[in-house]
A and B are shown apart, each in its own frame.
Chain A
Amino acid sequence: MTADATPALVEDRQRAAGPRVRKSSAYPRYLAGKVAGAAVSLLAVLVTSFFLFRLIPGDPVKTMTGGRQVSAEQLAAYREEFGLDLPLWRQFTDYCGKALTGDFGTSYQFRAPVVDKITEALPNTLLLTGTAFVLYTALGIILGTRSAWRHGRLGDRVNTGLALTLYSIPSFWLGLLLIIVLSVGIGPLPGMFPTGGMESGGEEGFAYVLDVAHHLVLPVVTLVAVEYGQTLLVTRSALLDEMGSDYLTTARAKGLRDDLVRRRHAVPNALLPTVTLIFINLGRTVAGVILVETVFSWPGLGGLFYQALSVPDLPLVQGLFFVFAAAVILMNTLADLVYPLLDPRVAR
């Protein structure tokens, strides 16, 4: 079984279809199974990435030359350079063989190896998603815990309502609004943040770090706002499930303060379903950042993907598609591997 990508299923999984590990000695076998499953998924993604994007209408060579007058010989030369003159099955075997050694070909658009473009953009995406991920996970867990502990009160209702509302907001719209209000400025409000990009240029040393952080604020706020709700809701319902448990009554009977009962006893157990979600989110955020990067012209993988699709720049699109899917698969597998270690109960 592969990990699930939605919160509803995350909860289900804890109850019904949790990883079945008989004893701790069965873990290596379980691990091998999961890793093999992930490898199969990766291969399937590789195959898909090749065939799916061949369906895009238009001749890639014509796109490359951009409507310039090009002689038939030059077209043929281009075709040969990018291996487009070979039969489809040869292109496919070449693609797979090279991809396995980490070579995704040359980008039509940038005339640079796809791997270089990806490794160039990857740190930017990781900076953006990493910062947002840490913040929205922390926010979701803290607010979710509070909400559940005082459930039914006004604070809980406001918290849940706000989370659900923000969860229903399109991230790109929120991004655009933030740009208008805080970057362009309306009425008496001056523009406080840059409208896009990652740096103003010309800065060095500590000033550069500050500059990047300044550019980072709005995209991170957007991501955190639309993403924290899910973590909040899962944490909240997991903690609510624990609330009536006997061990909490015992802890209280021991005379522990309410705060300690929550922090030491309830929350660690309630966090288990959240752990799965956290890993899945990590993979998903990398793949889901396309919109925010496009809106804020952030020079990361998502923006690159959109740029590559509009050309269409086949090798780059294929490479990025593979990276996105691989991120999700990797994180799902990690969640599967870590979970039995954290929750000995699933090792029934």
Chain B
Amino acid sequence: MTTTAETAPSPRALARQRRRASVARFWRQYRSERAGLYGLTVLALCALLALFAPLFVGSDVSSVTDAPGRPMQSPSAEFPLGTDQFGRDLLGLVIWGSRVSLLVGLLAAVLSVAIGTLIGVTAGHFKGWYATVMMRVTDWFLVMPTLVLAIALATVMSRSLTTTVVAIGVTTWPTTARLVRAQTLAVETRPYIERAQALGGGHWHVMSRHVLPNVMPLVLAQTTLIISSAILAEATLAFLGLGDPTVVSWGGLLQDAREAGAVSAGDWWYLVPPGIAIAVVALAFTLCGRAVEAVLNPRLGVSR
């Protein structure tokens, strides 16, 4: 973003200026959503922790062979969250696990929203048989029980992070597609679309330059909400043993705990931290998503 617009306002600079103003307006309104600010703060902290995790914990934290402690120690000064069945430091594992959980949640949500936006915009722009077929496909995915389908996909493919991302992304896009299509249909009735087409703007021009910027706010809110459910879904798949067994994630830690017999032994300290981590991050994303939604669409009244 540059400030050349003041001297000679070219159309492009004007558009940029307008966009910046609307971002500033958005942020002003967002700041009045208290829950949204809490969510954002928590997320910023988690993101920093995940990014700088290598500074606190070595990458050998998940190594089973030279674990620092004895197996299944309860919390102590040396190991604030105790150790697992291999003697690994649980605090380190939970911090390390945030990287995979957040990454998979983000990637799955981006994939899901990207598919949803692509199908939503094209189905709204091109009418006729294409739209009909696409909306049929969307409806079909919508009635499929999401979790069952994701489990089935994860079972069919090999165990890896890509599988988890694809299984979640491919099963959660239909709601986005429906929302984006409705918005696209609304945008396309406006006169400036007709003007663009009269001036010779092609399909690609109309969709990328006029429709997409208008559906972006909706897409943003949707992404934030989907990340929250994607993180929960990732934990679920990992817990069912369908995740990548070679990486540390919060869901995977819970599965390890269950397999190590932490439940019947009453070792609550093994189970509590990963679960709280999942819940806090999922809640933070939900709060942000609701705040964004409330700012963009005051009629919804979700957080009044």
Name A residues whose Cβ lies closer than 8 Å to a Cβ of B.
Answer: 1-6, 8-9, 11-12, 16-17, 37, 41, 44-45, 48, 52-53, 55-57, 151-152, 161, 164-165, 167-170, 172-174, 176-177, 179-181, 184-186, 195, 233, 237, 240-241, 283-284, 287-288, 290-291, 294, 305-306, 309, 312, 317, 321, 324-325, 327-329, 332
Smallest beta-carbon distance A171→chain B, Å: 8
Contact of A309 among B146, B155, B251, B287 (CB under 8 A): B155
Interface band, chain B? 35 or more
CB < 8 Å: which of B153, B254, B286, B301 contacts A176?
A: B254
Contact A173–B271 (Cβ < 8 Å): yes
Please determine whether B235 and A170 come into contact, CB atoms closer than 8 angstroms: yes
What is the CA–CA distance of A18 and B235 in the complex, to the nearest angstrom? 35
Secondary structure at the A interface, as helix, strand, loop or mixed, is helix
Chain B contact residues, CB within 8 Å of chain A: 35, 139-140, 142-148, 151-153, 155-156, 158, 175, 178-179, 182, 225, 228, 232, 235-236, 239-240, 251, 254, 257-258, 262-268, 271-272, 274-275, 278-280, 282-283, 286-287, 300-302, 304
Interface of B, secondary structure class, is helix
A172 & B236 in contact (Cβ 8 Å cutoff): yes
Q: B residues within 8 A CB of A176?
A: 254, 257-258, 263, 271, 275
Q: Is the CB of A233 within 8 A of B302?
A: yes
Q: Which residues of A contact B139 (CB under 8 A)?
A: 1-2, 37, 41
| Docked-complex contact B147 and A288, CB < 8 angstroms | yes
Give A88 to B304 CA distance when docked, in angstroms.
Answer: 57
Establish whether residues B142 and A2, one from each chain, have CB atoms under 8 Å apart when the complex forms.
yes
Pair B240/A181 contact, Cβ less than 8 Å: no
Whether A4 lies near B278 (C-beta < 8 A) is no
In the complex, how many angstroms separate the beta carbon of A164 from the nearest chain B beta carbon?
A: 6
Which residues from chain A contact B271 at a C-beta distance below 8 Å? 173, 176-177, 180
Given the complex of chains A and B, what is the CA–CA distance between A151 and B304 in angstroms?
8
Q: How far is the CB of B267 from chain A (nearest CB, A)?
A: 8
Known interface pairs A195-B263, A237-B302, A325-B148; 17 further A-B residue pairs with C-beta atoms within 8 A, sorted by A's residue number: A4-B175, A8-B225, A9-B179, A41-B139, A44-B140, A168-B280, A168-B283, A170-B278, A173-B271, A176-B257, A176-B271, A180-B262, A180-B266, A180-B268, A287-B147, A291-B240, A309-B155
